[in-house]
Structure 1
Amino acid sequence: MAATAPVCDFGWAAPDFDLPATDGRRYGLRDVMGPNGTVIAFICNHCPYVLAVIDRLVRDAHDLAPHGVGFAAICSNDPVQYPVDGFDGMVAMARERAFSFPYLHDADQSVARAYGAACTPDFFGLNADGALQYRGRLDASRAKAGPPDLRRDLFEAMRQVAETGRGPEDQIPSMGCSIKWAAA
Structure 2
Amino acid sequence: MAAVPPLCDFGWKPFDERLPGVDDDTHSILDQAGENGLVVAFICNHCPYVKAVIDRIVRDANDLSALGVGFVAISSNDPSAYPEDSFDNMKRFAEDHDFRFPYLFDETQSVARGWGAVCTPDFFGFNAKLELQYRGRLDASRREAGPAGLRRDLYEAMRQIIETGQGPREQIASMGCSIKWKDAA
On whether the aligned pair clears a TM of 0.5, the verdict is yes
Q: How far apart are residue 121 of structure 1 and its match? A: 0.2
Query: What pairs with 1:79-98 in structure 2 (closer than 5 Å)?
Result: 79-98=79-98
Query: What pairs with 1:49-128 in structure 2 (closer than 5 Å)?
Result: 49-128=49-128
- Give me the CA root mean square deviation: 0.8
Q: How far apart are residue 29 of structure 1 and its match? A: 2.6
Q: Which runs of 5+ in 2 are unaligned?
A: none
Q: How far apart are residue 46 of structure 1 and its match? A: 0.3
Moved over 3 A (4+): none
Query: 1:10 & 1:99 partners in 2: Cα distance?
Result: 28
Query: 2:144 & 2:159 partners in 1: Cα distance?
Result: 25
Q: Does the CA-based 8 Å contact 1:36-1:163 persist in structure 2?
A: no
Question: Normalising by the residue count of structure 2, what TM-score does the alignment of the two structures yield?
Answer: 0.98
Query: 1:4 & 1:53 partners in 2: Cα distance?
Result: 17
Query: 1:26 & 1:127 partners in 2: Cα distance?
Result: 24
Query: 1:129 & 1:6 partners in 2: Cα distance?
Result: 22
Match of 2:154 in 1: 154
Deviating more after overlay: 130-139 vs 159-168? 159-168
Question: Normalising by the residue count of structure 1, what TM-score does the alignment of the two structures yield?
Answer: 0.98
Q: How far apart are residue 30 of structure 1 and its match? A: 3.1
Q: How far apart are residue 48 of structure 1 and its match? A: 0.3
Aligned residues, how many?
184
SS in 1 for 2:93: helix
Match of 1:9 in 2: 9
